[in-house]
Structure 1
Amino acid sequence: MHPHPLVLNRADPQVHRHTDGFYYFTATHPDYDRIVLRRSRTLSGLATAAESVVWRAHPTGDMGAHIWAPELHRVDDTWYLYFAAAPAEDEWAIRVWVLENTHPDPFRGTWTEKGRIETAWDTFSLDATTFVHRGTQYLAWAQQDPSRDGHNTAILLSAMANPWTLTGPQALLSSPEYDWECVGHKVNEGPYVLQRHDRVFLTYSASATDHHYCLGLLTADAGSDLLDPAAWTKSPVPVFATSEANGVYGPGHNSFTVAEDGETDVLLYHARPYKEIDGDPLNDPNRHTRFQTFGWNPDGTPEFGVPVADTVKESA
């Protein structure tokens, strides 16, 4: 039986399954001031794997506050960490930043600050992820659209000139429009890509980070121009949401990997074990990392099911 939760107090989880046989795990630390890594040869082993702090927020200036949603990616035989951060003196001026490590082992070597990813709009932006499709490296991220009053974030996509520089047009793929995307906050954030069955699937999280948080899904044909918003179809309903019956609330900010067999698809996400939150959800540390396997519908789209119930009890 898989441990649920997998890792306590770690939100926005991401796992990279590397060619060395390890699963590398990172996530948002509840103090919002550091980037941590774990690794294990099994997914379940991440629960007890030693955690290493590989980078800390600056005491002043850029990258000083709100260190959120790191993702570890391997691009051109080099490690990169994408994360959101704000100046210590302006903690809501959040943008996407990049670290690089040329050492084969991301726990060793030096993490070099490559700077901020420059986007067409200089607005609130976060939750960057990268993937390769048909030989092109892409970055997907969430950003405030200045043309839409009241919208917090939309999902954007761009090709990359290198792992820290965007090139060409930046396409807006999805904005909050359905009721379930607009509860508390009008939010599309936390994109992550899954490529299967001659299609490109992009999941994202919607609404406020309480029990309304849920996953949406965009789908494009693998042969289409991914930078053409018309190539993408949005699911009109959430594809993964709170399960009152199982006591799992606000599942979201997911990533994907495969099980140890190399074939079974796995969904990682965070959620809380209760519905009511005292105060600001951002100050509640109990978004725990969970994972579960998932299957596929006859039409070739993913079937995530419902969040499974906890098997690991929190210590008092």
Structure 2
Amino acid sequence: MGNLETSYITPFLEQRADPWMYKHTDGYYYFTASVPEYDRIEVRRSTTIAGLKEAQPVVAWRKYAEGPLSANIWAPELHFVAGKWYIYFAAARTTETNEGLFDHRMYVLENSSANPLEGEWVEKGQLRTEWESFALDATTFEHRGVWYLVWAQKDLNIPGNSNLYISEMSSPWTLRGKQVMITTPEYDWEIIGFKVNEGAAVLKRGGRIYISFSASATDFNYCMGLLTASEDADLLDPQAWTKSTSPVLTTDESIRLFGPGHNSFTLSEDGTEDIFVFHARNYKEIAGDPLYDPNRHTFVRVLKWHEDGTPDFVGSVLAE
């Protein structure tokens, strides 16, 4: 990946990690992401992708001073389901000994306004799964009339930090039926520093359903993998999903791209091209815990495709 002639890849938005960009039917692009302070959820909008750079963010929600929603507000996503807006996010709790700072759970906010930068965001509570454990990075998608949730969670019986799961939904904040694991960290590139599968994003194209995800520690080892299923498959069958045996996007020192991952997908302004949005740093060495280094920046690229119809993430990043 990369070439010696290219020395630097330019961020789209600085200090915005876990970027989520969504094009709505009202003609606006909406953007949210983790802010460096991990203390609030911001939403901005623009009629163009480029306009999101200068768009004024509006604070949709702020963390509490104490309790379950009081620390490390991570990876918000904005979705429109059945006529209302929803934000999925993860939050931890502050305690006297701080043992809960990384014991995240998933939560949901609802807004019935036509414009989610206006109106009231109502807390719908914790998005509960079959068991209580570290959980984050919820994303939702519709397929053939059924809404699904994909998320990352720790299984106390499986060594590691998080696996990816899928379930049907009975409401935007409630799961129904079986909840199945579709990937667990197993390859060398998924277990550097931490055994992690997280940050799922869904793309439907060419008769296939793709779920990109991120793996390993959040330093320069962070990278992306890809799950693929047929659009005709039972999405709740783990065997329906095929995982890439190697990462689909990794650090490229030649263009100063380090730890790419936690992406989202949207559409171009004319609706003809898929857009690939992700975060990365532009330097390798980090002082202290990578999670408290603020310089994970948002990058935006037109998504390229291989001849076999699969997404070409490397080619997308290298194409200016």
Normalising by structure 1, report the TM-score: 0.95
1:28 corresponds, among 24, 34, 42, to: 34
Displacement, 1:306? 5.0
* In 2: Cα distance, 1:155 partner to 1:177 partner: 12
Do 1:240 and 1:306's aligned partners in 2 also have CA atoms closer than 8 Å? no
Q: What one-letter code is carried by the residue in structure 2 that aligns with 1:53?
A: V
- Counterpart CA distance in 2 for 1:199 and 1:73 is 21
- Structure 1 letter corresponding to 2:16: R
| Aligned counterpart in structure 2 of residue 42 of structure 1, from 39, 48, 56 | 48
Partner of residue 123, structure 1: 133
- For 1:37, the aligned partner's letter is V
Instruction: Select the residue among 4, 13, 17 that pairs with 1:11.
Output: 17
2:126 aligned with 1:96: no
1:1-316 alignment runs, 5 A limit: 4-89=10-95, 90-149=100-159, 151-305=160-314, 308=317
Q: 1:176 to 1:296 in 2, by over 3 A?
A: same
Alpha-carbon distance between aligned partners in 1 of 2:256 and 2:132, rounded to the nearest angstrom: 39
| Post-superposition CA distance 1:55-106 (Å, at most 9, x none) | 0001111211110000000000100000000122222221000000011110
- Shift in Å, 1:142: 0.3
CA RMSD of aligned residues (A): 1.4
Q: CA deviation at 1:194?
A: 0.2
CA distance in 2, matches of 1:154, 1:193: 16
Q: Is the 8 A contact 1:248 1:308 kept in 2?
A: no
1:16-44 CA deviation, whole Å, 9 max, x = no partner?
10111111000001101100011111111
Which residue does the alignment assign to 2:3?
A: none
Q: Is the 8 A contact 2:227 2:242 kept in 1?
A: yes
How big is each residue's C-alpha offset from its partner over 1:259-286, in whole Å with a ceiling of 9 and x where there is no partner? 1111111100000010111111011000
Which runs of 5 or more structure 1 residues have no equivalent in the other structure? 312-316
Q: State the 4+ residue runs in structure 1 displaced beyond 3 angstroms.
A: 306-311
Is the Cα contact below 8 Å between 2:42 and 2:59 reproduced in 1?
A: yes
Residue pair 2:304, 2:316 contacting (<8 A) in 1 also? no
Secondary structure of the structure 1 residue equivalent to 2:291 = helix
Alignment identity in percent?
53
The amino acid that maps onto 2:228 is T
Change (3 A) 1:161 1:295: same
SS in 2 for 1:305: helix
Distance 2:271 2:67 in 1: 43
How far 1:309 moved relative to its partner? Answer: 7.2
Aligned residues of 1:251 and 1:307 also touching (Cα < 8 A): no
